[in-house]
Amino acid sequence: RLWIRWTQRAIKDDERTTMEYQAVGHDITERKEAEAALLRAKEAAEAADRAKSEFLAIVSHELRTPINAIVGFSKMLASTTLSLDQREQVEMINSSGLALEKIIADILNLSKIDSGKVDIEHAPFSIRMCVQDICAFYAPKARSLALSLDSKVDAGVPEIVNSDEGRIRQILNNLIGNALKFTERGGVSLEVSCARGEPIEPGSSRRIARLFFAIKDSGIGIPPEKLDGLFLPFSQVDTSSTRRRGGTGLGLIISKRLCELMGGSISVESRAGEGSTFRFSILTDFEEA
Protein backbone atom coordinates (compact mmCIF):
# COMPACT_ATOMS: atom_id res chain seq x y z
CA ARG A 1 0.00 0.00 0.00
CA LEU A 2 1.46 3.35 -1.05
CA TRP A 3 0.56 6.98 -0.53
CA ILE A 4 0.77 8.96 -3.77
CA ARG A 5 0.36 12.71 -4.13
CA TRP A 6 -0.89 13.56 -7.63
CA THR A 7 -0.29 16.84 -9.44
CA GLN A 8 -2.40 17.27 -12.57
CA ARG A 9 -2.36 19.96 -15.20
CA ALA A 10 -3.82 20.64 -18.56
CA ILE A 11 -1.41 21.16 -21.49
CA LYS A 12 -2.83 23.68 -23.98
CA ASP A 13 -1.90 24.66 -27.52
CA ASP A 14 -1.60 28.25 -28.81
CA GLU A 15 -5.40 28.55 -29.12
CA ARG A 16 -5.71 27.50 -25.46
CA THR A 17 -7.35 24.24 -26.41
CA THR A 18 -6.55 21.43 -24.04
CA MET A 19 -4.42 18.85 -25.81
CA GLU A 20 -3.68 16.51 -22.99
CA TYR A 21 -3.57 16.17 -19.24
CA GLN A 22 -0.32 15.45 -17.50
CA ALA A 23 -0.33 13.73 -14.15
CA VAL A 24 2.69 13.27 -11.95
CA GLY A 25 2.57 11.00 -8.93
CA HIS A 26 4.94 11.43 -6.00
CA ASP A 27 5.43 8.56 -3.60
CA ILE A 28 4.97 10.19 -0.18
CA THR A 29 4.54 6.96 1.77
CA GLU A 30 7.63 7.62 3.88
CA ARG A 31 6.51 11.12 4.81
CA LYS A 32 3.01 9.88 5.70
CA GLU A 33 4.44 7.14 7.85
CA ALA A 34 6.73 9.59 9.63
CA GLU A 35 3.74 11.90 10.26
CA ALA A 36 1.67 9.02 11.62
CA ALA A 37 4.54 7.90 13.86
CA LEU A 38 4.93 11.46 15.13
CA LEU A 39 1.23 11.69 15.89
CA ARG A 40 1.28 8.34 17.71
CA ALA A 41 4.32 9.48 19.73
CA LYS A 42 2.60 12.77 20.59
CA GLU A 43 -0.58 10.98 21.71
CA ALA A 44 1.44 8.51 23.75
CA ALA A 45 3.38 11.37 25.38
CA GLU A 46 0.15 13.22 26.18
CA ALA A 47 -1.40 10.09 27.63
CA ALA A 48 1.73 9.50 29.73
CA ASP A 49 1.65 13.10 30.89
CA ARG A 50 -2.02 12.82 31.88
CA ALA A 51 -1.31 9.56 33.69
CA LYS A 52 1.62 11.19 35.50
CA SER A 53 -0.49 14.14 36.64
CA GLU A 54 -3.32 11.88 37.82
CA PHE A 55 -0.86 9.60 39.56
CA LEU A 56 0.79 12.53 41.32
CA ALA A 57 -2.54 13.99 42.38
CA ILE A 58 -3.70 10.68 43.84
CA VAL A 59 -0.39 9.84 45.49
CA SER A 60 -0.03 13.25 47.02
CA HIS A 61 -3.57 13.13 48.34
CA GLU A 62 -3.10 9.63 49.74
CA LEU A 63 0.23 10.59 51.32
CA ARG A 64 -0.86 13.88 52.78
CA THR A 65 -3.48 12.45 55.14
CA PRO A 66 -1.12 10.03 56.93
CA ILE A 67 1.67 12.62 56.93
CA ASN A 68 -0.65 15.12 58.62
CA ALA A 69 -1.32 12.50 61.28
CA ILE A 70 2.41 11.85 61.75
CA VAL A 71 3.25 15.55 62.04
CA GLY A 72 0.22 16.40 64.20
CA PHE A 73 0.46 13.50 66.64
CA SER A 74 4.22 13.72 67.03
CA LYS A 75 3.76 17.37 67.96
CA MET A 76 1.14 16.41 70.53
CA LEU A 77 3.36 13.65 71.84
CA ALA A 78 6.22 16.10 72.24
CA SER A 79 4.14 18.11 74.73
CA THR A 80 3.76 15.11 77.07
CA THR A 81 6.25 13.88 79.68
CA LEU A 82 8.99 11.98 77.89
CA SER A 83 12.45 10.69 78.63
CA LEU A 84 15.36 12.40 76.84
CA ASP A 85 15.65 9.53 74.33
CA GLN A 86 11.94 9.49 73.63
CA ARG A 87 11.91 13.25 73.08
CA GLU A 88 14.70 12.96 70.55
CA GLN A 89 12.86 10.16 68.74
CA VAL A 90 9.58 12.05 68.68
CA GLU A 91 11.36 15.12 67.29
CA MET A 92 12.90 12.94 64.60
CA ILE A 93 9.45 11.62 63.62
CA ASN A 94 8.15 15.18 63.49
CA SER A 95 10.99 16.59 61.36
CA SER A 96 10.88 13.59 58.99
CA GLY A 97 7.15 14.14 58.57
CA LEU A 98 7.73 17.80 57.77
CA ALA A 99 10.47 16.89 55.28
CA LEU A 100 8.12 14.45 53.52
CA GLU A 101 5.44 17.13 53.38
CA LYS A 102 7.92 19.50 51.68
CA ILE A 103 9.04 16.88 49.14
CA ILE A 104 5.46 16.18 48.13
CA ALA A 105 4.64 19.87 47.85
CA ASP A 106 7.75 20.44 45.69
CA ILE A 107 7.12 17.48 43.37
CA LEU A 108 3.51 18.56 42.87
CA ASN A 109 4.59 22.13 42.29
CA LEU A 110 7.15 21.18 39.64
CA SER A 111 4.76 18.82 37.89
CA LYS A 112 2.14 21.58 37.79
CA ILE A 113 4.63 24.01 36.28
CA ASP A 114 5.85 21.42 33.77
CA SER A 115 2.35 20.61 32.58
CA GLY A 116 1.67 24.33 32.02
CA LYS A 117 -0.98 24.52 34.74
CA VAL A 118 0.56 27.46 36.56
CA ASP A 119 -0.87 30.88 35.79
CA ILE A 120 1.29 33.90 36.42
CA GLU A 121 -0.56 36.79 38.00
CA HIS A 122 -0.12 40.35 36.90
CA ALA A 123 -1.13 42.55 39.82
CA PRO A 124 0.32 45.64 41.52
CA PHE A 125 2.41 45.21 44.66
CA SER A 126 5.36 46.80 46.48
CA ILE A 127 8.74 45.12 45.99
CA ARG A 128 10.08 46.95 49.05
CA MET A 129 7.33 45.53 51.29
CA CYS A 130 7.89 42.10 49.80
CA VAL A 131 11.65 42.24 50.54
CA GLN A 132 10.98 43.59 54.05
CA ASP A 133 8.54 40.78 54.84
CA ILE A 134 10.87 38.06 53.63
CA CYS A 135 13.82 39.45 55.58
CA ALA A 136 11.65 39.76 58.70
CA PHE A 137 10.63 36.12 58.22
CA TYR A 138 14.23 34.89 57.98
CA ALA A 139 15.72 37.27 60.58
CA PRO A 140 15.19 34.93 63.58
CA LYS A 141 16.76 32.04 61.69
CA ALA A 142 19.76 34.15 60.64
CA ARG A 143 20.15 35.36 64.25
CA SER A 144 20.05 31.83 65.60
CA LEU A 145 22.82 30.88 63.16
CA ALA A 146 24.82 34.04 64.05
CA LEU A 147 24.63 35.18 60.40
CA SER A 148 23.90 38.66 59.10
CA LEU A 149 20.96 39.17 56.76
CA ASP A 150 20.87 42.46 54.83
CA SER A 151 18.74 43.81 52.05
CA LYS A 152 18.97 46.77 49.70
CA VAL A 153 16.46 47.96 47.12
CA ASP A 154 17.92 50.49 44.64
CA ALA A 155 16.31 53.91 44.47
CA GLY A 156 15.51 53.24 40.79
CA VAL A 157 13.11 50.40 41.60
CA PRO A 158 9.51 51.66 41.18
CA GLU A 159 7.33 51.74 44.33
CA ILE A 160 4.65 49.59 42.75
CA VAL A 161 5.19 47.06 39.98
CA ASN A 162 2.81 44.66 38.24
CA SER A 163 3.84 41.03 38.51
CA ASP A 164 3.21 37.88 40.52
CA GLU A 165 4.22 38.65 44.10
CA GLY A 166 3.52 35.09 45.33
CA ARG A 167 5.87 33.56 42.75
CA ILE A 168 8.60 36.10 43.42
CA ARG A 169 8.33 35.31 47.12
CA GLN A 170 8.56 31.62 46.31
CA ILE A 171 11.84 32.14 44.41
CA LEU A 172 13.25 34.42 47.12
CA ASN A 173 12.28 31.90 49.80
CA ASN A 174 14.12 29.15 47.95
CA LEU A 175 17.26 31.20 47.36
CA ILE A 176 17.46 32.87 50.79
CA GLY A 177 16.57 29.57 52.48
CA ASN A 178 19.45 27.90 50.60
CA ALA A 179 21.87 30.76 51.26
CA LEU A 180 21.26 30.48 55.02
CA LYS A 181 21.35 26.69 54.86
CA PHE A 182 24.73 26.55 53.16
CA THR A 183 26.45 29.35 55.10
CA GLU A 184 28.26 28.82 58.36
CA ARG A 185 30.04 32.17 58.81
CA GLY A 186 29.38 35.70 57.62
CA GLY A 187 25.98 36.26 56.15
CA VAL A 188 23.51 36.68 53.35
CA SER A 189 22.45 39.76 51.41
CA LEU A 190 19.62 40.45 49.01
CA GLU A 191 19.82 43.27 46.46
CA VAL A 192 17.17 44.45 44.04
CA SER A 193 17.81 46.77 41.11
CA CYS A 194 15.87 47.71 38.02
CA ALA A 195 16.28 48.64 34.37
CA ARG A 196 13.42 50.83 33.21
CA GLY A 197 12.40 50.20 29.62
CA GLU A 198 10.06 51.49 26.92
CA PRO A 199 6.36 52.26 27.39
CA ILE A 200 4.35 49.05 26.89
CA GLU A 201 2.82 50.77 23.86
CA PRO A 202 3.47 54.17 22.26
CA GLY A 203 1.99 56.98 24.35
CA SER A 204 1.18 54.72 27.31
CA SER A 205 2.15 55.84 30.83
CA ARG A 206 2.87 52.21 31.69
CA ARG A 207 6.51 51.23 31.20
CA ILE A 208 8.32 47.95 31.09
CA ALA A 209 10.83 47.29 33.85
CA ARG A 210 13.23 44.43 34.34
CA LEU A 211 13.90 43.68 38.00
CA PHE A 212 17.23 42.15 38.97
CA PHE A 213 17.64 40.24 42.21
CA ALA A 214 20.99 39.13 43.66
CA ILE A 215 21.22 36.82 46.66
CA LYS A 216 24.76 36.65 47.92
CA ASP A 217 26.17 34.45 50.65
CA SER A 218 29.57 33.79 52.21
CA GLY A 219 28.90 30.08 52.53
CA ILE A 220 30.40 26.79 51.39
CA GLY A 221 30.12 27.69 47.68
CA ILE A 222 29.75 25.28 44.78
CA PRO A 223 32.62 23.52 42.97
CA PRO A 224 32.88 24.53 39.24
CA GLU A 225 32.11 21.02 37.93
CA LYS A 226 28.77 21.07 39.76
CA LEU A 227 27.59 24.44 38.49
CA ASP A 228 26.25 23.18 35.15
CA GLY A 229 23.90 20.60 36.59
CA LEU A 230 22.70 22.76 39.46
CA PHE A 231 19.36 23.69 37.90
CA LEU A 232 18.36 20.10 37.11
CA PRO A 233 15.75 18.21 39.16
CA PHE A 234 17.06 16.51 42.29
CA SER A 235 20.56 17.89 41.84
CA GLN A 236 22.41 18.20 45.11
CA VAL A 237 26.10 18.96 45.30
CA ASP A 238 26.88 16.90 48.32
CA THR A 239 24.23 14.41 49.33
CA SER A 240 25.85 13.65 52.68
CA SER A 241 25.81 17.30 53.75
CA THR A 242 22.34 17.75 52.28
CA ARG A 243 21.10 14.92 54.42
CA ARG A 244 22.35 16.91 57.38
CA ARG A 245 20.97 20.22 56.10
CA GLY A 246 17.73 18.90 54.63
CA GLY A 247 16.28 19.68 51.21
CA THR A 248 14.71 18.08 48.20
CA GLY A 249 16.92 19.22 45.31
CA LEU A 250 13.87 20.77 43.65
CA GLY A 251 14.06 24.35 44.88
CA LEU A 252 16.39 25.62 42.14
CA ILE A 253 14.62 23.95 39.22
CA ILE A 254 11.28 25.30 40.48
CA SER A 255 12.84 28.77 40.79
CA LYS A 256 14.29 28.52 37.28
CA ARG A 257 10.96 27.53 35.77
CA LEU A 258 9.14 30.35 37.60
CA CYS A 259 11.71 32.92 36.42
CA GLU A 260 11.23 31.73 32.84
CA LEU A 261 7.45 31.95 33.17
CA MET A 262 7.91 35.57 34.28
CA GLY A 263 10.08 36.46 31.30
CA GLY A 264 13.40 36.15 33.07
CA SER A 265 16.27 33.84 33.84
CA ILE A 266 18.43 32.70 36.72
CA SER A 267 22.16 32.15 37.05
CA VAL A 268 24.79 31.50 39.66
CA GLU A 269 28.37 32.50 40.30
CA SER A 270 30.20 30.60 42.94
CA ARG A 271 33.53 29.33 44.17
CA ALA A 272 33.94 26.42 46.54
CA GLY A 273 34.61 27.78 50.00
CA GLU A 274 34.04 31.40 49.00
CA GLY A 275 30.29 31.73 48.81
CA SER A 276 27.73 31.99 46.04
CA THR A 277 25.68 34.65 44.30
CA PHE A 278 22.40 33.65 42.70
CA ARG A 279 20.96 36.22 40.30
CA PHE A 280 17.59 36.26 38.66
CA SER A 281 15.58 38.72 36.68
CA ILE A 282 11.90 39.07 35.83
CA LEU A 283 9.95 41.25 33.47
CA THR A 284 7.38 43.58 35.04
CA ASP A 285 5.70 46.84 34.20
CA PHE A 286 4.81 49.89 36.26
CA GLU A 287 2.71 53.05 36.06
CA GLU A 288 5.02 56.03 35.53
CA ALA A 289 2.83 58.34 37.62
Please identify, using beta-carbon distances, which residue of 157 and 220 lies nearer to ligand ADP. Answer: 220
Map the footprint of ligand ADP across residues 115-154, applying CB under 6 A.
none
Please identify, using beta-carbon distances, which residue of 189 and 248 lies nearer to ligand ADP. Answer: 248
Query: CA geometry: angle at 160 spanning 157 and 166, to 5°?
Result: 100
189 binds ligand ADP per the rule CB under 6 A: no
Binding window for ligand ADP (CB under 6 A); candidates: 54-62, 142-150, 192-200, 242-250: 242-250
Shortest Cβ 65–ligand ADP spacing (Å): 24
Taking every pair of Cα atoms in the chain, the longest distance, rounded to a whole number of angstroms, is 111
Shortest Cβ 156–ligand ADP spacing (Å): 26
Shortest Cβ 54–ligand ADP spacing (Å): 26
- Cβ atoms of 232 and 253 within 8 Å: the answer is yes
Secondary structure element (H or E) that encloses residue 124, with its range: strand 123-126
Provide the b/e sequence for 213-247 (b: ≥16 CB within 10 Å). Answer: bbbbbbbbbbeeeebeebbeeeebbeeeeeeeeeb
Q: Which of 131, 171, 194, 222 binds ligand ADP (CB under 6 A)?
A: 222
247 binds ligand ADP per the rule CB under 6 A: yes
Please identify, using beta-carbon distances, which residue of 156 and 246 lies nearer to ligand ADP. Answer: 246
- Tell me, what amino acid is at 279? R
Shortest Cβ 217–ligand ADP spacing (Å): 5
Shortest Cβ 69–ligand ADP spacing (Å): 24
Q: Which of 60, 111, 151, 235 binds ligand ADP (CB under 6 A)?
A: 235
Give the whole-angstrom CA distance, residue 57 versus residue 281: 31
- Cβ atoms of 264 and 280 within 8 Å: the answer is yes
Please identify, using beta-carbon distances, which residue of 64 and 226 lies nearer to ligand ADP. Answer: 226
Own/partner long-range contacts of 226-231 (Cβ < 8 Å, ≥24 apart): 227/268, 227/270, 230/268, 231/256, 231/266
Give the whole-angstrom CA distance, residue 77 versus residue 91: 9
Residues in the site for ligand ADP, rule: CB under 6 A? 174, 178-179, 182, 217, 219-222, 230, 235-238, 242, 247-252, 276
